[in-house]
A and B are shown apart, each in its own frame.
Chain A
């Protein structure tokens, strides 16, 4: 009888697998029209997956943008929508889910164009899905809209609108995620409806069928679910991920039929699994057991022998090492069976030793050290390949563990923490360098600045005076436009002449006796000439004066530039060493505090990783030790049976010779006449004694001191344990078999 919850659980590893497939492992923004160079730099880092650098730079940019009063003048203003969206996206990539959630929710507020809002809503939904909150997934997906909402930002800055593109509704992605959320909340019928509408959609090829199958099974539509998985199992694909998914579907379906006792159907699906793939070992083992269940041990040997030759680290292969001699035993090839049990014992012994060394190596910290090795940056499969390092533990036993999302999260966090630790150490060094730099600047600038300052004050006073003079001249010229004062524009000679005439007039006024009419006439004439010249040239002179003042403005502009440049340089010189001492001290204190906290968390994280790895290895070691004990008993039984078989044959042979009959009473044709009956019987007894001695010797060599009969009994118990210990199966059977 099919038990629904078990089957459902069997397939319910979909979450991580499918969401990982539907969302790219990189940021979404591509080919953005960059209007701010520093935002472009953020993208440059983000595209290279340097998320820490990208987030730090983006935070810096946004902080500076928030401090600007005239935001429209900041080049980032044109990219602000993308920048705000990127905050959440980058946080998500850097696995800062809490920050990502807040940032994405901030983007969903008013003031962002619909396309960005839709993308943000989808991201938020994916985040909730990852966190296992399906109700919130549906809430986030409801925020996606295809209606253009005219907001302040949208009308001004949406590039999509400028390009007359409709807002991205991301309908398919949203529908797919909605279906997954429905499955998680038990709303299987609407999930089925959605997934059927997405069936054969290229974007979700394979995964749509997988989820559809799950939804159907959970909805109680067992036959439809089986058909869907059957369809997935026949899918014509070439992508390695999809091939693995197809294999997994076939394997799980086969296991499902095994549980139902449908051996023929199970065999069909085991056969569909590729011989080279992540699930081939399990399929070969299963195919063998299906044949064995039908009593066809010769057929069972075909997949098992193939499996037997594979890597001895795999648990299926190790099980095959026990299964192959078991099958040979069933086929009465006891000698072969004993040999193979012997080989298995050798392998188990060496592997147990290796596992012990690996556990020791983990406990000594070699595993954590190897995880952070520089080779790991270039090797995506480093967690497995690190075993090539000296003193590193054997990681091939922990493949399933390493593929698990928990281990991956821990590993990535540990690497991130190591990277942060590196930054903190570097920053402490930087602060030391800054202090040295500041001290050198102080020693250089401090004696110079007072001298420069003294000179500057003098120049500054002269400059102010000249500027004041220019201001007065300008004022006079402006006034002369309204009330002409030609004498203001008299030349130097004219002024001298005017002064002299005034002096003469004053003198004559004091000495009237010396004044004559001629002199008066001459003075009036000269006065008239001067007045004529000054007044008749006034317009030209005023124009010239205006032009000269404008020329002066050019010179004053250069002067002001130099002046302000000097002011800034002087300010920079002062700022180059003043006001840093306290901030640097504060930074150092903060860095040290964070460093301390980080080291504690890193130690905890490392401990968790070590615990996970050593537990896994220990579990495998115990499994091998278990196999080892069972193989010893099975070996003894095989020897017993081999000896018994030989004895039976020998006794049969002697019996025939003595009696001329076999033990069933039938006469056998005698080849030679019996010469000495007693001699033959003595020989038979002697042979039997020799065989018993040989048996004892073999048992001693194989390390078994117990009686053979006891061994037989124990060996039966081993197999019967595997047959009937249902509670163990129920407690330990977890069908999630790693990842692709």
Chain B
């Protein structure tokens, strides 16, 4: 009986054995620190490059950016969005589940960045979405963007009490 009990201990030992990893934890930790350092280097580069890109591609005297935020019924499902500037479609976007969740959580999407002359421009936003019951519907909104010498930011707020009736509001920043 005692021998069999010891036998079982042997079985448990064999079953519970973890991987005998020759790579030491210290080695993994050291490598992890190096990875963190390189991440920092690349992030620094990314920040500086994005500044260069903005300066080069979107100078402030012509820059215009359109942002989208969801402020209404959380059950409304935004499927797609179209941005037109002065009668020309400048961007279209189809939303993934993750993107929609990010908008619902309070994130703001920069849907379009471009260059326009100073003066008034017609911005038309068009969305297709679905209500809680799954019915598809679409809405359009117009707004006159008055571009001055500085960069211009316009926020499009999609909101409304019912998921079947969401509308757009424009906010000038």
Contacts and interface: CB of A to CB of B under 8 A. Distances in A.
A687 interface: no
Most chain A Cβ neighbours within 10 Å, of B38, B52, B155:
B38
Most chain B Cβ neighbours within 10 Å, of A46, A259, A401:
A259
A316 B15 contact: yes
B72 to A, nearest CB: 14
A37 B153 contact: yes
B48 to A, nearest CB: 7
B67 A734 contact: no
Given A41-B109, A44-B107, A289-B11, A732 B42 contact: no
B133 interface: no
Contacts of A733: 12-13, 16-17
B38 A417 contact: yes
A496 B17 CA distance: 116
Interface stretch (A138-146, A569-577, A663-671, A702-710): A569-577
Most chain A Cβ neighbours within 10 Å, of B5, B9, B11, B33:
B11
B102 to A, nearest CB: 4
B161 interface: no
B4 A404 contact: no
Contacts of A96: 36, 39-40
Contacts of B105: 30-31, 43, 47
A612 B52 CA distance: 42
A410 B30 CA distance: 11
B46 to A, nearest CB: 4
Given A37-B67, A611-B22, A612-B23, A430 B53 contact: yes
Interface stretch (A54-62, A518-526, A693-701): A54-62
B99 interface: yes
A679 interface: no
B19 A404 contact: yes
B38 A722 contact: no
A563 B81 CA distance: 38
Nearest to B96: A48
B101 A47 contact: yes
A467 interface: no
A608 B8 contact: no
B89 interface: no
Contacts of A568: 61, 149
Interface in B89-113: 98-99, 101-103, 105-110
B136 interface: no
Given A261-B5, A285-B11, A420 B39 contact: yes
A176 B108 CA distance: 35
A52 B46 contact: yes
Contact of B21 (A40, A282, A424, A615): A615
Nearest to A590: B45
Interface size class of A (residues with CB under 8 A): 35 or more
A434 B53 CA distance: 9
Given A98-B36, A413-B32, A612-B21, A737 B16 contact: yes
A427 interface: yes
A635 B108 CA distance: 69
Nearest to B118: A565
A156 interface: no
Nearest to A591: B45
Contacts of A45: 102, 107
A406 B153 contact: no
A319 B14 contact: yes
Given A60-B51, A568-B149, A30 B5 contact: no
Contacts of B35: 413, 416-417, 601, 605
B106 A729 contact: no
Contacts of A533: none
A734 B18 contact: yes
A34 interface: yes
A568 B33 CA distance: 46
Nearest to B153: A37
A294 B10 CA distance: 16
B23 A611 contact: yes
A597 interface: yes
Most chain B Cβ neighbours within 10 Å, of A45, A255, A404, A736:
A255
Contacts of B64: none
B34 interface: yes
A726 B13 CA distance: 10
B15 A580 contact: no
Given A52-B46, A565-B149, A619 B19 contact: yes
Nearest to A597: B38
Contact of A725 (B10, B27, B45, B55): B10
A594 B107 contact: no
A319 B8 CA distance: 12
A544 interface: no
B154 to A, nearest CB: 9
Contacts of A282: 15-16
B69 A34 contact: yes
A259 B25 contact: no
Contacts of A590: 45
A616 to B, nearest CB: 5
A63 B47 contact: yes
B49 interface: yes
B23 A722 contact: no
A583 interface: yes
Most chain A Cβ neighbours within 10 Å, of B16, B48, B51, B118:
B16
Contact of B15 (A319, A575, A723): A319
Contacts of A285: 11, 15
A164 B50 CA distance: 39
Contacts of B15: 282, 285-286, 315-316, 319, 737
Nearest to A571: B61
A423 B47 CA distance: 12
B8 A258 contact: yes
Contacts of A32: 106
A424 B47 contact: no
23 contacts: A40-B69, A41-B108, A47-B107, A57-B50, A94-B39, A96-B40, A97-B36, A286-B15, A292-B4, A293-B4, A315-B14, A404-B18, A406-B28, A423-B42, A427-B49, A434-B56, A576-B59, A580-B56, A587-B49, A601-B34, A605-B31, A723-B10, A736-B18
Given A37-B65, A258-B9, 18 more contacts: A30-B105, A47-B101, A48-B99, A55-B43, A56-B43, A97-B36, A258-B8, A259-B12, A293-B7, A315-B15, A398-B19, A406-B21, A409-B32, A417-B38, A423-B42, A591-B45, A601-B35, A608-B31
Q: List 6 tightest A-B contacts by C-beta distance, closest first.
A: A40-B108, A44-B107, A47-B102, A293-B4, A733-B13, A56-B46
